[in-house]
């Protein structure tokens, strides 16, 4: 459930950031020049602090139930500042939601699956996805091979009369779990010497980059399966 809320907040923040940068590109020259060289948190904070110029506030009705509205925006620059400030505050709100949700996820995932989190290249987000994949399919996962198939990391035969013993990437299975395995593999290819040595061995054997990634993801999926089973095994029943 927490991952659902976090995913929604991440997507919302990404949309707001894209919109903010698009508005800056079409902003009046003086405002655009003021913000052009800024980026990241500095840009968002600067936009959140913009105060658009407004005309005189309308006289409130004595019978009005809503609070008095501010004065009309003075010009296009004021309208642009209002838009940028609104988007920046929205980005701040999404960021706070993401931070709070990640704090909850960090503690829950670390408590539930310490062995999985300790694996090289596995963070809270990746571990949470793999746990969700495993927990949603308890009847389908009876072996490491079943988990590999569920993650879409099992090889699919692509043999023809002219190309024997060939395989292709599996496009089925849980694509979010497959993406998590890919992220682990890429992290290890950059920073793990053992994985780099394995890649070099496979290249010597004539394997393509796609073949190497398929082999690495399958091996990682088996390692993940064993880690999850170690963390979730019931001491009383042994299952």
Q: What is the rounded CA–CA span in Å between residue 132 and residue 116?
A: 13
Q: Is 113 exposed, middle or buried (0-12, 13-18, 19+ CB in 10 A)?
A: buried
- Looking at the chain, the whole-number percentage of residues with pLDDT higher than 90 is 55
Residues 164 and 206 in one domain: yes
Q: Is the predicted pLDDT of residue 178 greater than 80, yes or no?
A: yes
Q: Using N-to-C axis directions, what is the helix angle for 193-204 and 209-232, rounded to 10°?
A: 140
143 and 168 housed in the same domain: yes
Q: Which of 101, 125, 151 is the last residue of a domain?
A: 101
The answer to whether the CB of 196 falls within 8 A of the CB of 120 is no
pLDDT digits (tens, 9 = 90+) for 70-79: 677 778 988 9
DSSP letter for 68, please: P
- At residue 66, the pLDDT reads 62
Q: Are 87 and 187 part of one and the same domain?
A: no
Whether 85 and 138 share a structural domain: no
Q: Can you give the residue range of the structural domain that contains 181?
A: 114-232
Residue 54 has phi, psi (to 5 degrees) of -130, 155
pLDDT tier at 235, thresholds 50, 70, 90: very low
Q: Is residue 107, in this structure, part of any structural domain at all?
A: no
Q: Containing H/E element for 17?
A: helix 2-25
Tens digits of residue pLDDT in 3-46: 999 999 999 999 999 999 999 999 999 899 889 888 889 999 99
C-alpha 15/C-alpha 91 separation (Å) is 9
143 and 176 housed in the same domain: yes
Q: Report pLDDT for 189.
A: 95
Nearest to residue 109, comparing CAs of 179, 178, 180? 180
Per-residue pLDDT of 150-162, as tens digits, reads 888 887 776 666 6
Q: Per mean pLDDT, which of 91-105, 143-157, 165-179 is the most reliable?
A: 91-105
DSSP SS3 for 157: strand
- Residue finishing a domain among 59, 76, 101: 101
Give the model's pLDDT for residue 61: 60
In a domain, 61, yes or no: yes
Predicted TM-score of the model (pTM): 0.74
Identify each DSSP E strand in the chain by its residue range. Answer: 156-157, 167-168
Do 94 and 161 share a domain, yes or no?
no
Q: Please, which pLDDT band fits residue 237 given cuts at 50, 70 and 90? A: very low
């Amino acid at each position: 459930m927490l991952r659902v809320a976090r995913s929604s907040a991440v997507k919302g923040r990404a949309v707001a950031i894209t919109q903010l940068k698009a508005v800056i590109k079409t902003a009046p020259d003086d405002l655009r020049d003021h913000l052009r060289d800024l980026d990241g948190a500095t840009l968002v904070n600067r936009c959140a602090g913009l105060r658009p110029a407004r005309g005189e506030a309308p006289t409130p009705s004595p019978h009005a139930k809503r609070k008095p509205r501010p004065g009309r925006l003075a010009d296009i620059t004021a309208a642009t500042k209002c838009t940028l400030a609104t988007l920046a505050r929205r980005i701040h709100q999404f960021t706070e939601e993401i931070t709070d949700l990640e704090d909850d996820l960090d503690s829950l995932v670390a408590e539930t699956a310490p062995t999985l989190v300790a694996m090289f290249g596995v963070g809270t987000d990746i571990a949470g996805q793999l746990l969700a994949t495993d927990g949603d399919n308890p009847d389908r996962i009876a072996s490491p091979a079943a988990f590999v198939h569920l993650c879409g990391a099992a090889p699919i035969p692509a043999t023809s009369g002219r190309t024997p013993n060939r395989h292709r990437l599996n496009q089925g299975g849980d694509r979010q779990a497959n993406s998590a395995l890919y992220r682990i593999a890429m992290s290890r290819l950059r920073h793990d010497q053992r994985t780099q040595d394995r890649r070099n061995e496979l290249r010597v054997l004539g394997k393509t980059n796609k073949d190497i990634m398929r082999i690495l993801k399958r091996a990682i999926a088996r390692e993940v399966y064993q880690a999850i089973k170690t963390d979730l095994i019931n001491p009383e029943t042994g299952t």
